[in-house]
């Protein structure tokens, strides 16, 4: 496990949080239940990393980028490891229903998130960069299909639109863990 390696196994709290980081947003588990079972520290990290599923996906993604630099060091370690794991999955077994543009958008978004937390752990950052290049190479290979030039153009347009989109900072952010 990436977080255990990054901490040389010396931080069981962050390892537990890494294992549980999606439990609040992907299951019916409540924060108080998590806290009873795993403690305040684990729950705090998990809450920092939990997206507010009541928001539209594009807003959640923008918030994850914007809030990344405010994460605690432990939460940043988990975020880095999660992005590495997700890009490895995209490289090795991408979702069959994702068009090339969505894969490219995911890679670009992951890079924006990680750019905000650089300086957290050079080893994890190096691994992220390596797998990001591998994903990019895989996606370049997919561009040889006849429909991919249209998808590539649509992806560039979508990325340009996303880059110009900004989240309303005057809107209350709510729970600091609702990234």
Indicate which residues carry an active-site annotation: 25-26
Helices 100-115, 148-164: crossing angle, 10 deg rounding: 30
Quickly list H helices, the chain. 2-6, 12-20, 23-26, 31-38, 40-49, 57-67, 73-92, 100-115, 122-142, 148-164
Rounded to an integer, what distance in angstroms lies between the CA atom of residue 144 and that of residue 6? Answer: 37
- Cβ atoms of residues 17 and 46 within 8 Å: yes
With beta carbons less than 8 A apart as the criterion, state whether 67 and 115 touch.
Answer: no
Residues 6+ apart with CB under 8 A from 62: 165, 166, 167
Following DSSP, what letter does each residue of 131-156 receive, concatenated? HHHHHHHHHHHHTTSTTHHHHHHHHH
């Amino acid at each position: 496990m990436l977080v255990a390696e990054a901490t040389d196994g010396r931080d069981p709290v962050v390892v537990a949080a890494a294992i549980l980081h999606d439990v609040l947003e992907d299951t019916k588990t409540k924060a108080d239940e998590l806290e009873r079972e795993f403690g305040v520290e684990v729950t705090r990290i998990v809450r920092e990393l939990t997206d507010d599923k009541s928001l539209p996906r594009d807003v959640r993604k923008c918030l994850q980028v914007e809030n990344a630099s405010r994460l605690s060091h432990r939460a940043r370690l988990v975020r880095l490891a999660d992005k590495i794991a997700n890009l490895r999955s995209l490289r090795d077994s991408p979702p069959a229903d994702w068009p090339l543009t969505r894969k490219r958008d995911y890679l670009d978004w992951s890079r924006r998130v990680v750019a905000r937390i650089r300086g957290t752990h050079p080893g994890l950052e190096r691994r992220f960069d390596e797998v990001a290049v591998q994903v990019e190479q895989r996606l370049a290979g997919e561009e040889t299909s006849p429909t991919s030039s249209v998808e590539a153009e649509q992806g560039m347009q979508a990325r340009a639109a996303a880059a110009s989109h900004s989240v309303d900072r005057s809107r209350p952010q709510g729970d600091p863990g609702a990234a």
